[in-house]
Structure 1
């Protein structure tokens, strides 16, 4: 069954990648529109997450945000299909603005290890190609269940000579070694970890189990952390934003450092709320005694 699912997924990816980019985006938005009008679990999860994280919104405002989020989710899928199938240069050409490129360059010049932190905001696959065009990082990722899809993503995400590290014990070791030797890594910080690997810290004033992998990597003060995101521009194309991490992220108090990381990601999501992947079950694990959301 997983082999069949993998073949279907790859087939859809190839179809999207054959289209002109603007048409692929429109088709992706159409998929998002279907998610909006039809009963489905993704819409339910978006609505649940937004009801907890943005309780101040009126019902009509929240419905508008749910709808726009699903449209942007469809766009992200279509854009990612193109990024996975195209040559990296074609994807990077979609980036119209870069803010803070000098922050990355200065961090690389130190030669002490660079930990680039991102989240599921905008399009992280487009960001991956831009980042890998600037250096040769190790990209940390969570493998999909379908082996054929995983093989495709491993190959396509490493077209520029970089390496990828799955979220396994071996992958974690690879990332740690790369940082210790002064190399660069890229880590999405918002997937929910195992309880033993995370800390409950605020995210939109809600307790969210958040990975402490990055704070642990930064212990000792040798490596430098930066935040990187790639957001969709209203007129078409993308904008990459690079920002130095606050000092609190280097705190020896793991909870404080993890909370700092969560707060920075939240600040980006507040600026582009519909471009965040609210369909992710970000709050699946709850503090002891708290009712489950999903």
Structure 2
């Protein structure tokens, strides 16, 4: 059954990748609209997350944000399908603006290791191609359940000569070795980790179990940390990549403080582009002791 699901998903991705970018993006928005008008789990998870994270927002405005989020989620899926199946050059041609590229180049020139941090905001697949066009990093990722899809992503995400590392013991060791030898890595910071691998820190004033991997990776090293995001421009114009230096607190020996500072940077980006965040992710599945589950 998993093999069949994988084949269906890959077939669907191939169909999307044959379409012009703007049309694929528009069809993705239609898929998001269908999620909006029909009862489904994704829509409810978005509502739950926004209700807890933005309680100060008037209900009608928050419901409008749910709508915009689902449309942008559909766009993200369609864009990612194209990014997975196209040659990297096609995705790179959609990056219209880059802010802070000099920060990345300066960090790479140090030769002391570069840890680039991102989140599920905007389009991380287009970002992957842009980042890998600047250097040859190791990209850390969480493998999908379908083996065929995982094989596809491993191949497509490494088209520019970089490497990928799954979120397994071997993948973690691979990322650590790369940083120690002065190389570059890319890490999504917002997937919820196992309890032993995370710490509860604020995210939108809510306790969110957040991975300690990046702070632990930086501790005791001379590596430079940067935040990278790829935001969708309006009207199908493409994307803008933003590179930002990490705050000094991220290098703290206090893991909780460092993790909280990382979470705060991601929150700042999400507040600026709220509908482009993947609110359908069960980001708050694990709760502190004694707190009621959300989902």
Looking at structure 1, the residues matched to 5 and 51 of structure 2 have their Cα atoms a distance apart, in angstroms, of 32
Aligned position for 2:211: 211
Offset at residue 234 of structure 1 (A):
1.1
Once the two structures are TM-superposed, the CA of residue 57 in structure 1 deviates from its matched residue by: 1.0
Q: Are 2:203 and 1:239 aligned? A: no
Query: In the TM superposition, what whole-angstrom CA distance separates every residue of 1:36-91 from its partner, at most 9, and x where no partner exists?
Result: 00000000000000000000111110110000000000000000000000000110
Tell me, yes or no, if structure 1 residue 136 matches structure 2 residue 147. no
Contact (CA 8 Å) 2:123, 2:231: kept in 1 or not? yes
Residue-pair matches, total: 294
Q: Does 2:84 align with 1:97? A: no
Report the Cα distance in structure 2 between the residues aligned to 1:62 and 1:8, rounded to whole angstroms: 34
**Matches for 1:9-158 after TM superposition, within 5 Å:** 9-158=9-158
Question: Structure 2 unaligned runs (5+)?
Answer: none
Q: Distance in 1 between matches of 2:146 and 2:207?
A: 31
Once the two structures are superposed, what CA deviation does each residue of 1:120-149 show, in whole Å capped at 9, x if it has no partner? 000000000000000000000000000000
Moved beyond 3 Å, runs of 4+: none
Counterpart in the other structure of 1:228: 228
Deviation of residue 221 (structure 1)?
4.0
Q: What SS does the aligned partner of 1:225 have?
A: strand
- Note the aligned Cα RMSD (angstroms): 0.5
Instruction: Supply the distance in 2 between the matched residues of 1:249 and 1:221 (Cα, whole angstroms).
Output: 12
The equivalent residue for 1:262 is 263
**Secondary structure, aligned partner of 2:10:** helix
Which runs of 5 or more structure 1 residues have no equivalent in the other structure? Answer: none
TM-score by length of 1: 1.00
Q: Distance in 1 between matches of 2:283 and 2:79?
A: 22
Q: Which SS does the other structure have where 1:52 is aligned?
A: helix
